[in-house]
Structure 1
Amino acid sequence: MVKLRTRLFQMWFRVARPMTLGVRGLVINDQGKVLLIRHTYTPGWYLPGGGVERGEPAIEALRRELVEEAGVALTQAPDLIGIFSNHLNFRNDHVLLYRVSPTIWEACEATSVGEIAEVGWFNPEALPEGTTAGTRRRVREWANDLTLPPLW
Structure 2
Amino acid sequence: MTDPDPRPLYERDPAAYRAQLAEGNARQARKRAAADALIRDRDGRVLLVDPTYKPAWDLPGGMAEANEPPLDALRRELVEELGLHIPAAPMALVCVDWVAPHGPWDDSLMLVFDVGTLTADQTAALRVTDAELGAFEFCTLEEAQKRLRPYVWARLSAAVTAADAGTIAYLHNGHSVS
Number of equivalenced pairs:
136
Matches within 5 A, 1:112-151: 112-127=129-144, 129-145=146-162, 148-151=169-172
Aligned partner of residue 37 in structure 1, secondary structure: strand
Q: CA deviation at 1:109?
A: 5.6
Mapped to 1, the partners of 2:140 and 2:151 lie a distance apart of 17
Counterpart of 2:107 in structure 1 is: 92
Higher fraction of helix: 2
Tell me the TM-score normalized by structure 2. 0.65
Percent of residue pairs bearing the same amino acid type: 24
Is 1:42 aligned to 2:54, yes or no? yes
Equivalent of residue 43 in structure 2, options 8, 11, 31: 31
TM-score, normalised to structure 1, is: 0.74
Cα distance in 2, alignment partners of residues 109 and 125 from structure 1: 22
Alpha carbons 1:35, 1:47 under 8 Å: kept: yes
Gaps of 5+ in 1: 1-16
How do residues 7-86 of structure 1 correspond to structure 2 at under 5 angstroms?
18-75=30-87, 76-86=89-99
Larger Rg: 2
The Cα offsets for residues 63-113 of structure 1, whole Å up to 9 and x where unpaired, read as 011122233221232111122211245342111110111168935464743
The equivalent of 2:7 in structure 1 is none
Q: What runs of 5+ residues in structure 2 fail to find an aligned partner?
A: 1-28
- SS of 1:50's partner is strand
CA distance in 2, matches of 1:41, 1:96: 21
